[in-house]
Amino acid sequence: MLILGIHRDPYHNTGAAALLDDGNGVRVVAISEERLDRVKDSSRYPDNAIKYCLRELGAEGPADCDLIVSDYIFQPKWNGDRINGVRSALTFLKNTSQRLEYREQIPPGDVHFLNHHMAHACSAFYPSGFDAAAVLIVDGHGTMLAPGEKASATDPSGIFETQSLYAMKTGKIDTLSKTGISGVGMLYAAFTQFLGFGQLQEGKTMGLAPHGAQSGLSHIKFPDHFDGIVTDYSELANIWAKKGKWVEDSRLIPCKNTKDQTNEYYSRIAYEVQEETDRAMLHLAEFAKRKTGSKNLCIAGGVGLNSVANQKISEAGIFENIWIQPAASDTGIPLGCALYGYYHLMGGDKPWRMDNAYLGREYTTEEIRESIAKYTDQVTLEEDVDYSRAARLLSDGKIVGWFHGACEYGPRSLGHRSILVDPRKSENKDLLNSRVKNREAFRPFAPSVILEAASEYFDLGGASPYMLLVASVRPEKRDIIPAITHVDNTARVQTVTCAENGLFYDLIHAFGELTGVPVVLNTSFNVAGEPIVETPEDAIKCFLGTEIDVLMLDNFLLQKKPR
């Protein structure tokens, strides 16, 4: 059985696809369109992503799929053609009344349209391995409600959903609460743009926030208490005007010069917004516990990528177990669509647990050789090089491009498409920024650590395989790994195990044997403004266009020829 999940939201530029096959167990392949068309946050229909998934699982085309599921943006008049119907369903219609006109029409045949938050919920619950859980979805906003679904009291039109709570177990979903208009995700997105970072750049706000901690000033008046699933933030979020410019008043003055983003005023605003997000997410977790009584919590939606807020929930001990979808943003929607199709529409009963985020395809040795052959005039090549050589190069101060296996699903590089540096030298952070990443200096870099050593270096209660928790660096280790220690003495940690990521584990372990520190600085294999590399050729191009010292493509070691 082949089930294809699709997402394309022209408002937020996050096309992606996922394909589920239950022929021999359950296997899933998933990827975002940007990794393939090389346009950051690509807004195009995910043709490349669909073809990629189909090809990997041996399907000739979409007609081989038993079912196609898309999240509910709007539904077109059905023309009887399965694939053209999906295309037209995901074509952007600017006129809101046109979009509402299509809401009540469900196309017959093999295409099913799913509520946006429901897709998020399935992406979080089914991969978690839990038998039952509270499922919390928090994002900027969802899309229109599916036919028959009730709108929230705060948004009778059903256009927006910002927070949703579900109680889920295999084959059963209970919708417990929803809120519309403006939740904490929309608040965070609005202030991210207020700070001059632009759309889908909330991670920059999170990175800037600790720089404003020391200021005693207060610039924003937030609601005093929460009501139900969460308080409405529309008064603050709607300061954003129709033309995308902030309404200037005596309370808030938008940042118009990126050089000002790190000054006391704007860094303090980032801090206040992050603090409010922490407070809101804790309230939502407590609300979920009261409503469900479950010992398990699953989280998805873009706010699920807020590692600081996630850590607050984890530390509060409200739930015994927490699982957060690594592709928590809309990139994960196609996975939820495919899983909903399998378990709820097609009656699938084989369990599938997301033990790692490596849902892309692996490239063969021959494919890697063919890519290298195009650049023989620019690189030297060594073959049959193992991880120990990379560990030695890192300990010698080299910047190492690391390409191995299938790509990660979601925005974080987790040791398959990574740039690695020795974390023991504070200057390596600035060196990496100036020579490779070209991003804002206030943003931190993340550590990857072997799991058994994690508690020695970080105040972390358990595993953090997807860089979704921000933990304190232990005081005695801050001077040992300064390149990954943020201004507030925290780090967004990835824990690595031999079972789930053997080669990356071996590399970090070997680096630890050489240096006494089983931790590496791990950042995404890209430069600012570009997607993470997907193919071997993407990696070579990035390597040649930056000052990365060496590139490891599986067991091939590339270095640049002198010019």
Mean pLDDT of 69-96: 44
Work out the mean pLDDT of the chain and round it to a whole number: 87
How confident is the model at residue 85, as a pLDDT? 37
Please name which of 182, 186, 207, 212 lies closest in space to residue 197, comparing C-alpha atoms.
207
User: Quick check: is 254 in a domain?
Assistant: yes
Q: Average pLDDT of 442-457?
A: 97
So what's the pLDDT on residue 419? 98
Please report whether residue 370 resides in a domain.
Answer: yes
469 near 311, Cβ under 8 Å? yes
Question: Which tokens in the block code for residue 500?
Answer: 């789930």
pLDDT at 14: 79
Among the three residues 302, 324, 346, which one is the final residue of a domain in this structure? 324
Same domain as 308, residue 198: yes
Residues 313 and 439 in one domain: no
* Region 193-204 average pLDDT: 91
- What is the sign, positive or negative, of the torsion defined by CA atoms of 70, 14, 157, 150? positive
What does the angle CA 184 – CA 340 – CA 494 come to, to the nearest 5 degrees? 55
DSSP 8-state symbol, 62: G
Statement: residue 246 has pLDDT above 70: no
- Give residue 561's pLDDT: 96
Better-scored residue on pLDDT, 251 or 366: 366
Q: Checking phi first, is residue 80 left (phi over 0); if not, alpha (psi -120 to 50) or beta?
A: left
Contact 317, 462 (CB under 8 A): no
pLDDT value at residue 141: 75
CATH number at residue 524: 3.90.870.20
Report the C-alpha gap between 341 and 106 in whole angstroms: 15
Q: 550 and 414, same structural domain? A: yes
Query: For 86-112, what is the mean pLDDT?
Result: 38
Domain's final residue, options 271, 305, 324: 324
Q: What is the pLDDT of residue 145?
A: 52
In the prediction, which pLDDT does 158 show?
52
In terms of domains, do 266 and 317 share one? yes
- 304 vs 73, more confident: 304
For position 190, what pLDDT does the model report?
87
More confident residue, 180 or 555: 555
- The tally of domains found in the chain comes to 2
What pLDDT, on a 0 to 100 scale, did the predictor assign at position 166? Answer: 97
Residues 515 and 369 placed together within one structural domain of the fold: yes
- Among residues 299, 324, 349, the one where a domain terminates is 324
Q: Is residue 295, in this structure, part of any structural domain at all? A: yes
Residue 64 confidence (pLDDT) above 90: no
Predicted confidence (pLDDT) at residue 235 exceeds the cutoff of 80: no
The answer to the question of residue 190 being in a domain is yes
Residue-wise pLDDT for 125-171, tens only, equals 999 999 999 999 999 877 655 545 555 554 444 557 889 999 999 88
State pLDDT tens for residues 468-485.
999 999 999 999 999 999
- Name the range with the highest mean pLDDT among 56-65, 98-107, 256-265, 526-535: 526-535
Give the pLDDT mean for 528-545. Answer: 97
pLDDT, average across residues 22-33:
95
Question: Are 473 and 397 in a shared domain?
Answer: yes
* 46: Cα separation from own chain's centroid: 17
Nearest to 551 by CA among 542, 541, 563, 543: 543
pLDDT of 237 over the 80 cut: no
Whether residue 48 lies inside any domain: the answer is: no
Q: How many whole angstroms separate alpha carbon 283 and alpha carbon 248?
A: 31
Question: d(Cα 125, Cα 299) in Å, to the nearest integer?
Answer: 8
Mean pLDDT of 357-367: 98
Is the confidence at residue 238, as pLDDT, over 80?
no
Nearest Cα to 131, choosing from 74, 171, 160, 165? 171
Task: Verify that 371 and 472 share a domain, yes or no.
Answer: yes
Give a yes or no: residue 506 inside a domain.
yes
Beta strands 519-524 and 556-560 are: unpaired
259 domain-assigned: yes
Task: Average the pLDDT over 206-213 and give the result.
Answer: 97
Would you place residue 82 in the very low, low, confident or very high pLDDT band (cuts 50, 70, 90)? very low
Residue 107: pLDDT band (50, 70, 90) is very low
pLDDT tens digits for 279-328?
Answer: 999 999 999 999 999 999 999 999 999 999 999 999 999 999 999 999 99
Candidate from 95-99, 159-163, 221-225 with smallest mean pLDDT: 95-99
241 domain residue, yes or no: yes
Domain with residue 224: its CATH number is 3.30.420.40
Q: 380 and 317, same structural domain?
A: no
Residues 518 and 390 in one domain: yes
DSSP string, 100-160: HHTTT----SSEEEE-HHHHHHHHHHGGGT-SEEEEEEE-S---PPPTTPPPBTTBTT---
In order, the DSSP letters of 328-347 are TTGGGHHHHHHHHIIIIIS-
pLDDT at 331 over 60: yes
Condensed to tens digits (0 to 9), the pLDDT of residues 397-424 reads 999 999 999 999 999 999 999 999 999 9
In the prediction, which pLDDT does 198 show? 83
Q: For position 93, what pLDDT does the model report?
A: 30
Asked if pLDDT for residue 81 goes beyond 50, the answer is no
Per-residue pLDDT band at 341 (split at 50, 70, 90): very high
pLDDT of residue 103: 29
Residue 247: pLDDT band (50, 70, 90) is very low
Report the alpha-carbon angle 513-515-516, nearest 5. 70
431 burial class (0-12, 13-18, 19+ CB within 10 angstroms)? middle
Tell me: do 319 and 388 sit in the same domain.
no
Residues 395 and 312 in one domain: no
Indicate whether 315 and 374 sit together in one domain. Answer: no
Write down the pLDDT at residue 73. Answer: 54
Least confident of 79-93, 418-432, 511-525: 79-93
Percentage of residues in the chain having pLDDT higher than 70: 86
Tell me the C-alpha distance between 460 and 474, whole Å: 10
> Which structural domain range is residue 468 located in?
365-560
